[in-house]
Structure 1
Amino acid sequence: MEGLLNDGAKSTIKETFAAFTGTIAGAIDTQRNDAVSKMLRDDYTALSIIATGYTMLHTAAIGAGNKNLADFTKESLTEIAGLITQTSEIIPLIVAEELDIEDVAEEAISNTQECWKPENMMAEA
């Protein structure tokens, strides 16, 4: 299993995944007339599901002693986490625009991003 994920395989997996998700996203987009905020909500949900899958696969790869797969899934999870963060920062802007309340967008971004800081999360009961 040592050569399971060489650079060529990683590239192929990422290209296939991107093509697949692009095809699915395109099909969904042609079928829905939702507001952009709802589309972003759906994308955020999909990214969260993908992150969960990478987390599970990463854990299994470590348990199986497959360093290449563990490294690949960690790199992929890092990319997905970045997309989730970027999406969470854009959602308040889009909602504010759709509701014609652009003046509150920056405050909403600041408030919602603050919620994700570990020091601001609820302490264990």
Structure 2
Amino acid sequence: MKRLVPLVIDAVLVILFCLIGRQSHHEAVFPGLLRTFWPFGAGLLLGWAVAAVLRADGEFGSAIRRFDARPLWPTGVVVWFCTVAGGMVLRVISGQGTEPSFIVVAATVLALFLLGWRAAWKALR
């Protein structure tokens, strides 16, 4: 259970990013939330999978049991990158917008969120 807390934190922060984005564009916040969230949610899951594989060192089963998603490097950076890149690719595939300014804003806000809590955890530890 304790190992899922970082995933829950990441997911809540990605949802918050989507809520803020919808609100700032004066869109109905909750009715379209799933449409906005799913590409980034899928990217987040991809990031977790990639980070776990990178930490596996050939023994994937035991690595998953030992996997700690709290470190800023490399885990946080991998999760952030995959969330942004995967989210943008899936938005393109699904016909959603990916204006350059949106990519910059999304990358910046998600870095603040997904890397920020990890940096704070490390500083407080």
Tell me the TM-score normalized by structure 1: 0.38
Tell me the TM-score normalized by structure 2: 0.38
Q: Which has the larger radius of gyration?
A: 1
Structure with bigger RCO (C-alpha 8 Å, 6+ apart): 2
